[in-house]
Amino acid sequence: MDTIDANGVTLGVEHFGDAAAPLILLVGGTTMLSWPDGLCAALAHGGHHVVRYDLRDCGASTTIDPEKPAYTLRDLASDAAALAHELDSRPAHLAGIGVGGMVAQVAALDHADAFGALTLVGTRPVAPGPVDDDLPDHDEATMGRLFSHPMPDWSDRAAVAEFAAAGAEILGDDPAAARATAERIWDRTQSTEPAIQMANQLGMVFSRIDCKPRWRERLPELTIPALVVHGRRDPFFPVGNGEACAREVPGARLLVIEDAATAIPAAATDEVAEAMLALRR
C-alpha cells in the first residue's frame, strides 16, 4: 500500500497490475477494502492498472474528525478526479461501490475530462436520507435487526470482527468474508479515535457529510460507457435503486447478481470483472 497527495489531502492507495496500463480507479464504500482482492486482481489481469483507495477519514487517508466532517460529497468527488490525474493523464475508468458509488456519480458529472467509463455497484442515484418515491428504501425489518445489534468494543479486534460478521449475516452477505475484511480494516486504522474511524469505515457516519445539491437529474448528461451492478437480494439499497441508476445514465448496462446482497461475492468476481473490462473494448 502507498499514499498519494491529491486535492490537498493524502489518500491511501493500493496498486494492482502494470502502472503503464489504462487506469481503473476504485472508490471504496469508505474503505478501499470494499473492493475484493480477487476482483482487483482479475481487472489487472485484464490489462489495467487498478488502484483502490480509502476515502478521507478512513484507513491510510487523511483523518481529521470523522464525526464532524468539514468536507462535502463534492470534495470527495474532486479527490477522485485529482487522484486520477495524478495516476494517469488519460481518462480513467471510475468505479464506485455503495456510498463510493455516490461519489463516483458526482465525480463523473463534475469532472467529465477525468473519466472515460463508469461502473456503479450497489448504490443509488440520491444522497443518504429521504429517497424519491420511485426508489425503494432500506428494508425496514432488516435495518431494524441491523441497527439493534449492540455496538462492539472498538478497541477489541475480535469483537469488531464478530460485529461485522453478524451484520453481514443480517444483510445476506458472507459472514466469513466480512469478518476477514473487518480484521484487515482494524489492523490498518490510523486515527487517534479508532472507534469513530472504524465506525466510519463501516459506513455508519457517512451520512453526516453535505451531499447537496442533488445530482440525479444530471445523470442523463453522461456520455461515457456505463455499467450498473446490483445484488438481487440487497436489503440496504434494494435492486430498484440500481435499476434507477441504469435508467438515468444513457446506454448503461444493468448487471443484476442474483445471489448477491450488498457485497460482491467471490463467486461473482469473474462475471463482474468481465463486464467492467468490456466497457473499454
Which CATH number fits the domain that encloses residue 50? 3.40.50.1820
Which cell numbers hold the place of 241? 435503486
The answer as to whether 38 is a domain residue is: yes
The answer as to whether 261 is a domain residue is: yes
Question: What does the pLDDT average to over 258-281?
Answer: 94
Tell me the per-residue pLDDT of 30-44, one tens digit each, with 9 for 90 and over: 889 999 999 999 999
Residue 176 contacts residue 165 (beta carbons within 8 Å): yes
Identify the pLDDT of residue 194. Answer: 55
Q: How much is the mean pLDDT over the chain?
A: 92
Question: Which position has the higher pLDDT, 64 or 157?
Answer: 157
User: Does residue 188 have a pLDDT over 90?
Assistant: no
The answer as to whether 175 is a domain residue is: no
Tell me the per-residue pLDDT of 45-69, one tens digit each, with 9 for 90 and over: 999 999 999 999 888 888 887 777 8
Q: Which domain holds residue 237?
A: 2-138+193-278
User: Does residue 100 have a pLDDT over 90?
Assistant: yes
Identify the pLDDT of residue 52. Answer: 98
The answer as to whether 51 is a domain residue is: yes
What total number of domains does the chain contain? 1
User: Does residue 80 have a pLDDT over 60?
Assistant: yes
The model's confidence at residue 95, banded by pLDDT at 50, 70 and 90, is: very high
Identify the pLDDT of residue 66. Answer: 72
Q: Are strands 49-53 and 9-16 parallel, antiparallel or unpaired?
A: antiparallel
The answer as to whether 182 is a domain residue is: no
The model's confidence at residue 192, banded by pLDDT at 50, 70 and 90, is: very low
The answer as to whether 151 is a domain residue is: no
DSSP 24-44: EEEE-BSBGGGS-HHHHHHHH
Contacts of 222 (CB under 8 A, 6+ apart): 108, 109, 118, 249, 250
The answer as to whether 156 is a domain residue is: no
Tell me the per-residue pLDDT of 268-279, one tens digit each, with 9 for 90 and over: 999 999 999 999
Question: Distance between CA 200 and CA 56 in Å, rounded?
Answer: 10
Question: Which position has the higher pLDDT, 7 or 203?
Answer: 7
The answer as to whether 147 is a domain residue is: no
> What are the start-end ranges of the H helices in the chain?
37-45, 73-87, 99-110, 140-147, 157-171, 175-187, 194-201, 239-248, 269-278
